[in-house]
Amino acid sequence: MCVCVCVCVCVSLCIQVCVELVKILLHLSDDYCLEDFSHCRNGAMVALTVLCPDLVTPYLTKEFYAPNYTLRHRMDVLEVCRCVCMCVQAGVR
């Protein structure tokens, strides 16, 4: 949830580091069994992708087709893309 707040408050800073944040979030694992970890992680990646689609989308596409990724990582990328499409269709920016 902390990352979601960061995305909303620091828009200009997030634009500068959005790909790096998505990279970190994509590889982040729930080592401490936090409540709603997957939901918050997915929400943060969606927010960053909606904020900077021109920067994040090529990265996610490249990572989806990269070798040595687990099925879970690929499914996460697809879920982010699905949610971003729904946000764009709804006019959320």
- The alpha-helical segments, DSSP class H, found in 1-93 are 2-9, 11-27, 37-51, 53-65, 71-90
Tokens standing for residue 1: 């949830």
Q: How far apart are CA 64 and CA 60, in angstroms?
A: 6
Mean pLDDT of 12-28: 88
Q: What is the pLDDT of residue 9?
A: 57
Q: Is 36 left (phi over 0), alpha (psi -120 to 50) or beta?
A: left
Rg (CA), the chain: 13
pTM: 0.83
Residue closest to 14 by CA, chosen among 54, 47, 62: 47
Whether the pLDDT of residue 85 is over 60: the answer is yes
For residue 16, what pLDDT band results from cuts at 50, 70 and 90? confident
Q: CB of 87 within 8 A of CB of 46?
A: yes
Q: CB of 43 within 8 A of CB of 81?
A: no
pLDDT tens digits, 42-75: 999 999 999 899 999 999 999 999 998 899 999 9
